Amino acid sequence: MDELTGGTRADFLRKAVIGGSATAAALAAPALARGRNTAKDIAILRFDLGLEYLQAAMYSEAERLRRLQPRTLEWARVVGANERGHVKAIRGLLGRDAIKSPKFNFRGVTENDAVFTETAVAFEDLTAALLKTQATQVDSRGILAALVSLHSVEARHAAWIRHIAGIVPAADAIDEPTSKARVVRLVRSTNFVTSTPRTKGRREPRYTG
């Protein structure tokens, strides 16, 4: 998540080291918890986990505050549950390599229907686009299959929030991929990420990118 807050690489390496909070995920993925993912796949999944934490937190807060229009609120309720499901699934894939959630401040966005909707459209469109790029990058075909099954749910979310907003749900015949850098820029521009977890490391991080 440092990439999302602009921390230095040294900061990233210090913060990326994992604590012992992944017990539930380790139960779900005992073999992966012993570290069978490649370094590249871990980096990709960690980035996705950070994004899912962000989306899950934003939509969950909107659901809790209940300040949005009824259709948007229903979207936040359903999609928030899905994003929390994605967090659990990706934590399961990462096992002990999972990162903790950063802290967020949504700066009123979860209480403003127009701004919430605009932000949600951007997040969902870009997440679906990013997952396409990552699908060509992961080493494991099993992780590829997992990303594919999450990818189309993000596209469903995107179409749904666009429909609510009165924007055409499917603007192009073929959706294009996007780069991680573009997603990082979007997230930084929101200033939603206020701090990343400072977990004391137990071992050397495997992520070196």
Partner 1 sequence: MELPRDDASLTRSDLVARSALAGGALAAGGLLSGGLSKPALSQPSAAQDERVLEWLLQVEYLQADLYTETERRGALTGELRELANVTGEQEREHIAALERALGTAARSKRPSFDFGDTTTDPQKFLAAAVEVEELSLAAFNGQVPNLTDRRILLVMGIASVEARHVGWVRDLAKLNPAPQPADAPATQAETRAAIKDTGFTA
Provide the binding-site residues for partner 1, judged by CB under 8 A.
24-25, 27-32, 36-37, 78-79, 81-86, 88-89, 91-93, 95, 128, 131-132, 135-136, 140-146, 148-153, 155-160, 163-164, 168-170, 172-177
Please say which residue, 91 or 100, places its beta carbon nearer to partner 1. Answer: 91
Q: Could you tell me which of 49, 25, 29 has the C-alpha nearest to residue 197?
A: 49
- How large is the C-alpha radius of gyration of the chain? 17
- The H-assigned helical ranges of 38-112 are 39-65, 70-94
CB of 95 to partner 1, least distance (A): 8
CB of 97 to partner 1, least distance (A): 12
- Integer Cα distance of 180 and 151 in angstroms: 15
CB of 177 to partner 1, least distance (A): 6
Please say which residue, 141 or 200, places its beta carbon nearer to partner 1. Answer: 141
Please say which residue, 15 or 151, places its beta carbon nearer to partner 1. Answer: 151
Please say which residue, 149 or 194, places its beta carbon nearer to partner 1. Answer: 149
- Please report where in the chains the tokens 């950063």 appear, as a residue: 102
CB of 109 to partner 1, least distance (A): 21
Q: How far is CA 55 from the centre of its chain?
A: 6
- Integer Cα distance of 127 and 132 in angstroms: 9
Contacts 24+ apart (CB under 8 A), 147-155: 147/48, 150/86, 150/89, 153/82, 153/86, 154/124, 154/127, 154/128, 155/124, 155/128
CB of 13 to partner 1, least distance (A): 25
Please say which residue, 7 or 85, places its beta carbon nearer to partner 1. Answer: 85
CB of 183 to partner 1, least distance (A): 16
Please say which residue, 73 or 196, places its beta carbon nearer to partner 1. Answer: 73
